[in-house]
């Protein structure tokens, strides 16, 4: 009798413990990222907060080097059938990997999905499904030296005029040594894509069946870029190099470059200003760049995938995306984040953020065509040809259009 009772109690304990353990089964996920040392404590803090809230989850944060290294390692891990649970990824990395990803969107509430900034929804949606979610996002803004540019240009025409006025041979040796503005076409074709958007143009039509980059709007954008060329430093290096060497006075660059550009301005004893990009003929939009978070379906248990989705959703919470933005220099990615008191105070004390926030909320992202990587290469080359005076805008765009057509498939 006693033994029988003991047995029942024992069984009950085991069952109870079993249920309890199932609810809180320890799960470990791997998070690959490319955030260098400056960002790592910030990311670690967010992950620590997350694991404090979910004590059964362990997150292995693994720094994988530069974005290029990260992409190659992700690709290699997919080939080997053993990718991480969650990783940072650019849009054009995702298109070849789409079949091995676990879509995050279907696991999110409608409210959460609606909170993502409009310009970031399309670039995370593949075949109609929100697959990845935005993470570290930056926006193209206008940087200028306050001592040389008291009032930043607000229109294309002003930008052109000021570039012209500021281009000078300051030491009188007969060659220009200070340019009004600067471009890095081979490395940053997004500078042209910004003009293209502001002129109301696009690379392809909406259903990707036709190349539209050489239509009237595309041409207007390229002709505008060409008109700036004589007053522009053309380089492949970061603009901060030239900025810190007194070689350029103002330029369009990503908000992620803020700290480097600011440092460069300080190194020549100047104060730097940040404003919205000059208004184009149609709008004043600029391009959002940076990576998203994707969860892998391949070689993961359901518990791991759930945990990774939970982490992605955790990072989207207003307080977390704001914490990330304030400490990393990237931009918040949800609409609700921009109206938190915390962020409003932050912007009030960090005036350069005003332009970035404003630009972010009506920003646009790249298209998700599977061949976008190749298209970007082709655009970069044509943009460079025009900026270096090797080709007229019309000829370059027609040539580009036929190259892009071969990439439509």
Partner 1 sequence: MRTKRRFAIPDEWRSRVFWKDTAAAYIYILPALAILGIFVFYPFFSAFRLSTFKWSVVRPPGTYIGLGNYTYIFHDKYFWQALWHTFYYVGINVPVTLFLALLVANLLNKKLRFLTFARTAYFLAYITPLVAVGMVWKWLYNWQYGLFNYFLGLFGSSLINWLGDKHLALPAVIIMSVWRFVGYEAIILLAGLQNIDQMYYEAARIDGASGFQVWRKVTIPLLTPQIFFVFIISLIGSFKIFTEVYVLFTGTSGPLRSAETLVYYIMRQGFFSTPHLGRAAAASVILFGIIFFFTILQLQITQRRVHYQ
Report the C-alpha gap between 116 and 139 in whole angstroms.
Answer: 15
- Nearer CB in complex with partner 1: 74/347: 74
Each residue 313-342 as x (binds partner 1 by CB under 8 A) or -, in order, gives ------------------------------
Regarding 300 and contact with partner 1 (CB under 8 A), the answer is no
Regarding 409 and contact with partner 1 (CB under 8 A), the answer is no
Regarding 376 and contact with partner 1 (CB under 8 A), the answer is yes
Considering only 91-99, 130-138, 248-256, 339-347, which stretch makes contact with partner 1 by CB under 8 A? 91-99
Q: Which residue in the set 155, 236, 267, 402 belongs to the binding site for partner 1 (CB under 8 A)?
A: 236
**End-to-end Cα, the chain, rounded Å:** 78
**Min separation Cβ 87 and partner 1, Å:** 14
Q: Which residue in the set 122, 200, 281, 370 belongs to the binding site for partner 1 (CB under 8 A)?
A: 370
Q: Which residue in the set 63, 238, 346, 352 belongs to the binding site for partner 1 (CB under 8 A)?
A: 238
Length of the chain: 409
How is 256-307 classified by DSSP, letter by letter?
GGHHHHHHHHHHTT--EEEEPPPB-SS----BEEEEEEEEE-TT--HHHHHH
Please give the residues from 31 up to 90 whose contact with partner 1 meets the rule CB under 8 A.
Answer: 68, 71-72, 75, 78-79
Q: Which residue has the tokens 């607000």?
A: 154
Q: Which residue in the set 377, 392, 394, 398 belongs to the binding site for partner 1 (CB under 8 A)?
A: 377
- Burial degree of 200 (CB within 10 A; 0-12, 13-18, 19+): middle
- Nearer CB in complex with partner 1: 220/385: 385
Closest among 33, 156, 127 to 86, alpha carbons compared? 33
Q: Is 141 within 8 Å of 286 (Cβ atoms)?
A: yes
Handedness of CA 241, 243, 244, 247 (dihedral sign): positive
- Nearer CB in complex with partner 1: 125/247: 247
- Nearer CB in complex with partner 1: 95/212: 95
**Min separation Cβ 41 and partner 1, Å:** 26
Please give the residues from 153 up to 192 whose contact with partner 1 meets the rule CB under 8 A.
Answer: 173-175, 177, 186-187
Report the C-alpha gap between 408 and 92 in whole angstroms.
Answer: 15
List, in order, residues 6 or more apart from 364 with CB less than 8 Å away. 119, 197, 285, 286, 287, 288
Size of the site for partner 1 (CB under 8 A): 37
Report the C-alpha gap between 196 and 211 in whole angstroms.
Answer: 13
Q: Is 181 within 8 Å of 248 (Cβ atoms)?
A: yes
Q: Is 243 within 8 Å of 148 (Cβ atoms)?
A: no
Considering only 22-30, 120-128, 336-344, 381-389, which stretch makes contact with partner 1 by CB under 8 A? 381-389
Regarding 384 and contact with partner 1 (CB under 8 A), the answer is yes
**Min separation Cβ 384 and partner 1, Å:** 6
Q: Which residue in the set 5, 37, 99, 109 belongs to the binding site for partner 1 (CB under 8 A)?
A: 99
Q: Which residue in the set 373, 392, 394, 398 belongs to the binding site for partner 1 (CB under 8 A)?
A: 373
- Nearer CB in complex with partner 1: 242/277: 242
- Nearer CB in complex with partner 1: 187/279: 187
Report the C-alpha gap between 127 and 95 in whole angstroms.
Answer: 10
Neighbours of 216 (CB within 10 A): 11
Across the chain, how many H-helices and E-strands are there?
A: 18, 12
Where on the chain is the footprint of partner 1 (CB under 8 A)? Answer: 68, 71-72, 75, 78-79, 92, 95-97, 99-100, 173-175, 177, 186-187, 234-238, 245, 247, 370-374, 376-377, 381, 384-385, 388, 390
């Amino acid at each position: 009798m006693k033994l029988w009772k003991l047995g029942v109690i024992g069984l009950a304990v085991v069952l109870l413990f079993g249920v309890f353990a199932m609810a809180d089964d320890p799960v470990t996920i791997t998070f690959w990222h490319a955030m260098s040392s400056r960002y790592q404590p910030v990311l670690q803090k967010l992950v620590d907060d997350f694991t404090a809230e979910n004590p059964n989850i362990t997150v292995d944060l693994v720094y994988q080097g530069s974005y290029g290294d990260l992409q190659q390692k992700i690709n290699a891990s997919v080939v080997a059938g053993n990718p991480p649970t969650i990783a940072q990824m650019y849009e054009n990395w995702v298109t070849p990997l789409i079949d091995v990803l676990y879509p995050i969107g279907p696991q999110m509430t409608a409210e959460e999905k609606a909170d993502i900034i409009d310009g970031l929804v399309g670039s995370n949606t593949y075949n109609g499904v929100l697959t990845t979610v935005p993470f570290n996002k930056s926006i193209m803004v206008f940087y200028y030296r306050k001592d040389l540019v008291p009032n930043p240009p607000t229109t294309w025409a002003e930008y052109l005029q000021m570039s012209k006025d500021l281009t000078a041979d300051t030491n009188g040796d007969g060659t220009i040594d200070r340019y009004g503005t600067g471009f890095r076409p081979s490395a940053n074709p997004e500078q042209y894509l910004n003009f293209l958007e502001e002129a109301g143009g696009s690379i392809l039509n909406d259903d990707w069946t036709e190349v539209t980059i050489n239509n009237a709007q595309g041409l207007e954008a390229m002709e505008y870029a060409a008109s700036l060329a004589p007053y522009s430093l053309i380089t492949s290096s970061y603009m901060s190099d030239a900025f810190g060497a007194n070689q350029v006075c103002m330029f369009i660059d990503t908000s992620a470059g803020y700290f480097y550009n600011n440092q460069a301005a300080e190194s020549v004893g100047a104060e730097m200003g940040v404003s919205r990009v000059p208004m184009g003929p149609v709008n004043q939009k600029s391009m959002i760049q940076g990576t998203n978070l994707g969860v892998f379906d391949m070689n993961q248990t359901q518990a791991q995938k759930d945990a990774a989705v939970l982490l992605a959703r955790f990072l989207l919470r207003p307080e977390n995306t704001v914490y990330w933005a304030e400490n990393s220099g990237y931009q918040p990615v949800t609409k609700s984040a921009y109206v938190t008191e915390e962020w409003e105070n932050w912007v009030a004390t960090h005036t350069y953020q005003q332009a970035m926030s404003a630009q972010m909320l009506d920003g646009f992202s790249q298209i998700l065509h599977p061949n976008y990587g190749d298209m970007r290469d082709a655009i970069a080359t044509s943009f460079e040809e025009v900026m270096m005076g090797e080709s007229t805008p019309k000829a370059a765009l027609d040539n580009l259009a036929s190259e892009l057509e071969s990439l439509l498939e």
